[in-house]
Structure 1
Amino acid sequence: MSKVVINSHKEFEQFLGNRIGESDWILVDQDRINKFADATNDHQWIHVDVERAKEGPFGQTIAHGYLSVSLLPCLWEQIAKVNNLKMMVNYGMDKLKFGKPVLSGQSVRMVVDLQSIADLRGITKVELKFCLEIQGEKKHALDGIATFLYYFEA
């Protein structure tokens, strides 16, 4: 999948109201889930106890919702390369909804549209409407709006 290259506010504007792109599929396997559990000290059985989870509501372990959220930055980097920056700041997350659990062994990808863009005295504020799709499923794992501030070089 080819990345979109964005070098300026003006180049970002061309995507307003349109799809910027989608990432590659990424596997969410039990090893990834276990490492996330270790990193966050969230070892709830539904995520890490494979045997007990077989008797649970999903018939197997599921990824943490926040594991799914944590994949967004690396998936965004697969979609777009934003150049000529002094820095970029994560500004916020709005309307984040968890639609469907990601089962261990499923793959997900991010799809992004540019919902809004503003020039705040030389700082580019973008609102990216995203969804995290689950391969082979109609319902999304996540939907929301990520807001970033891009400080482009003059």
Structure 2
Amino acid sequence: MAIVVGTPSELLARAGEDLGASRWLEVPQADVDAFARATHDEQWIHVDAERAAAGPFGTTIVHGYMSLSLVVPLSHDLLRVERSSMVLNYGLDRVRFPAPLPVGSRVRLTGSLASATEVAGGVQVVLSLLLEREGGDRPVLAADVVFRHLD
């Protein structure tokens, strides 16, 4: 149930609307390993399956910041502006990681268009988002994400 609008200014009238849910996306160990190398965070809980099996979660878990990075591709399933010159990731108002994300899980993004305000050259939106793990009882990420959609 993605919100699809033609121009950034059309977002102004859509504030408060539910964004529905994105597609499910699997997070494989190979992606976690690549993220670990790219960010120089190769802590055993993320990359050493044997050691992690004996750890507190019984398996490797996805980095919190990797979970956060999945917001970008999955948010395209929730909100699209067809005639925008650019979309900028403007920042985060709040981020929490309420539950671990075991590697190999499937996740999806849900949320709402919390606010939309005019800014120079476009519209700033705040998306209140949850990243859910399939079969999980708590979200693995809760965040208010700020994007600027430019004319």
Which runs of at least 4 in structure 1 moved beyond 6 Å after TM superposition? none
| Equivalent residues, number | 151
State the shift of 1:87 in Å.
1.7
Asked whether the equivalents of residues 28 and 107 of structure 1 are also in contact (C-alpha less than 8 Å), the reply is yes
Conserved? CA contact 1:15–1:113, under 8 Å: no
Cα deviations by residue, 1:98-148 (Å, 9 ceiling, x for unpaired): 111100111111112011111124420111110101111120001011111
2:20 counterpart of 1:28: no
What is the 5 A alignment of 1:86-125?
86-125=85-124
Gaps of 5+ in 1: none
Q: Which amino acid letter does the alignment assign opposite residue 52 of structure 2?
A: A
Q: 1:78 aligned to 2:77?
A: yes
Mark the runs of 5 or more structure 2 residues left unpaired by the alignment.
Answer: none
Describe the shift of the 1:6–1:151 C-alpha distance in structure 2 as closer, same or farther (beyond 3 A): same
Q: Which residue of 2 aligns with 1:148?
A: 147
Worse overlay, 16-25 or 67-76: 16-25
Task: Report the TM-score when normalising by structure 1.
Answer: 0.91
Q: CA deviation at 1:3?
A: 4.2
Question: Which digits, 9 at most, give the CA deviation of each residue in 1:61-89, with x for residues without a partner?
Answer: 00011110111110011222212112221
